[in-house]
Structure 1
Amino acid sequence: MNQLHNFSVPDFHLPFGNAKHPQAARANEEATAWVAGHGLVTRALEQFSGIGCGHLAGRVSGEVPYERVLLLAEWMAWSFVLDDQHDHLIRNGELEAWRPVVGAITSYLDTGQADGAAEERNPLVNGFIDVCGRIVDGMSEACADRYRAHVRLVLRSLDQEAGNRRADARPTVEDYILLRRNSSQLLPMMDMVEAALGIDLPDRITGLPQFAEVVASTLDVISWGNDVFSLPKEYACGDTNNLVSRIASRDRISLRDAVGEVENLIQLRIEDYLKAKDRLFATLDAEPGTGPALRDEVARCVRTYEDWMIGTELWQRYECTRYNDERFAAGLEGAYTRPDLVSVA
Structure 2
Amino acid sequence: MTRLNSFTVADFHLPFGNSKHPQAARANVEATAWVVRHELVTDATEQFTGIGCGHLAGRVSGEVGYDRVLLLAEWMAWSFVLDDQHDHLIRTGDVAAWEPVAEAITTYVETGRVGSSSPRRNPLVNGFVDLCDRILGGMSETTAARYRAHVAMMLRSLDQEAGNREAPGRPSVEDYIVMRRHSSQLLPMMDMVEAGLGIDLPRRIHGLAAFQELIASAIDIISWGNDVFSLPKEYACGDHNNLVSLISFHERCSLSDAVRAVESRIQIRIEEYLAGKKHLFEVLDADGTTTPELRETVSRCVRSYEDWIIGTDLWQRYECTRYSDERFAAGLESAYTRPDLISVA
Give the corresponding residue for 2:216: 216
Contact 2:143/2:191 (<8 A) preserved: yes
Give the corresponding residue for 2:331: 331
Q: How far is the alpha carbon of 1:169 from its aligned partner?
A: 3.4
Q: How far is the alpha carbon of 1:285 from its aligned partner?
A: 1.0
Give the corresponding residue for 2:343: 343
Q: Which amino acid aligns with 1:236?
A: A
Q: Which amino acid aligns with 1:136?
A: L
Q: Which amino acid aligns with 1:265?
A: R
Query: Does the alignment pair 1:142 with 2:142?
Result: yes
Contact 2:119/2:344 (<8 A) preserved: no
Give the corresponding residue for 2:273: 273
* Alignment of structure 1 residues 1-345 onto 2, 5 Å: 4-116=4-116, 121-343=121-343
Range moving further from structure 2, 106-115 or 84-93: 106-115
Secondary structure of 2:155's counterpart equals helix
Distance 1:314 1:189 in 2: 18
Q: How far is the alpha carbon of 1:276 from its aligned partner?
A: 0.3
Q: How far is the alpha carbon of 1:2 from its aligned partner?
A: 5.4
Secondary structure of 2:154's counterpart equals helix
Q: How far is the alpha carbon of 1:119 from its aligned partner?
A: 8.8
Deviations 1:120-162 (A, max 9, x none): 5211100000011100000011111100100000000000000
Range moving further from structure 2, 108-117 or 295-304: 108-117
Q: Which amino acid aligns with 1:321?
A: T
Deviations 1:180-236 (A, max 9, x none): 000000000000000000101112211111111110100100000000000000000
Q: Which amino acid aligns with 2:29?
A: E
Distance 1:344 1:170, change over 3 A: farther
Q: How far is the alpha carbon of 1:102 from its aligned partner?
A: 0.7
Q: How far is the alpha carbon of 1:279 from its aligned partner?
A: 0.3
Distance 1:250 1:54, change over 3 A: same
Range moving further from structure 2, 226-235 or 207-216: 207-216
The CA RMSD measured in Å over matched residues stands at 1.5
Secondary structure of 2:177's counterpart equals helix
Contact 1:163/1:169 (<8 A) preserved: no
Distance 1:149 1:207 in 2: 14
Distance 1:239 1:117, change over 3 A: closer
Deviations 1:163-185 (A, max 9, x none): 00024131000000000000000
Distance 1:344 1:254, change over 3 A: farther
Q: How far is the alpha carbon of 1:9 from its aligned partner?
A: 1.1
Equivalenced residues, count: 345
Contact 1:3/1:256 (<8 A) preserved: no
Distance 1:25 1:63 in 2: 16
Distance 1:133 1:344 in 2: 22
Identity level (%): 72
Contact 2:100/2:118 (<8 A) preserved: no
Range moving further from structure 2, 167-176 or 27-36: 167-176
Distance 2:316 2:64 in 1: 22
Structure-2-length-normalised TM-score: 0.97
Secondary structure of 1:64's counterpart equals coil
Contiguous gaps of at least 5 residues in structure 1: none
Distance 1:22 1:118 in 2: 40
